[in-house]
Each structure stands twice: as C-alpha cells, then as structure tokens.
Amino acid sequence: MSESPEQVTVTLLGKSHQFSCTPGQQQALIDAVDLLNGRVDEMRQRDTVRSDHSALLLAALHLCHELLALQSDTQHAQHTLQQLTQRISTQIESK
C-alpha cells in the first residue's frame, strides 16, 4: 500500500508555494528550495540581472550546468573503474 503525497509549503522568490511530495522527501524538497533561493540571490547581485524571473532562470541554468558536469564526471569515473577492474581481473587470471 503506497502512502499518499504530503503537502509542503516553501518560500521561493519571497512567495509561498505548496508542493506535493512523497513521504520522507520533505527535507530534500526544502533543501532544494534553499539551494535554489541561494543561487537566485547570487544572480540578483549581478548588475546584469534586472528581474526575479531572470535571476531564477540563470540560477536554474547554472544548477543544470553543474548537474551535467557531475554526470559527465561520474560517467568518466565509472569507465575508469571498469578499465581498472578489467586489468585487475586479467592480472589475477594470468597467475
């Protein structure tokens, strides 16, 4: 039996928003909102950002860029690990 979603109220861009999330994920949602709010504040401090909408878009783009970079790093690390595992297996089998 699955648990029903829970409502979480958060503040983003100074306004309250209510979201549904699965039980046990409330803190993750709150942490994500805190991260996004921090990034929006960083973008607002730039002279070129003139609106909340622009700050939000830039913050989201920066976070997506960081996510893609981390995914690429993870793929590279997994590939390297596979190569090392193969080399170790080959060395063990040859003895």
**One digit per residue, pLDDT tens: the chain, 95 residues?**
567 889 999 999 899 999 999 999 999 999 999 999 999 999 998 878 889 999 999 999 999 999 999 999 999 999 999 999 999 999 888 87
Domain that holds residue 66: 6-93
Q: pTM of the predicted model, to two decimals? A: 0.77
List 9's β-bridge partners, or say none: 18
Please tell me the total count of domains within the chain. Answer: 1
pLDDT in the model for residue 1: 52
pLDDT in the model for residue 48: 84
Task: Please give the Cα distance from 49 to 43 (Å, whole number).
Answer: 7
Half-sphere exposure of 28 (CA within 13 A, CB side): 7
**17 in a domain, yes or no?**
yes
- Strands (E) located in the chain: 6-12, 15-21
Q: Is 73 helix (H, G, I), strand (E, B) or coil?
A: helix
**1 in a domain, yes or no?**
no
**76 in a domain, yes or no?**
yes
pLDDT in the model for residue 47: 75
pLDDT in the model for residue 94: 85
The structure tokens 């929006």 sit at 40
**33 in a domain, yes or no?**
yes
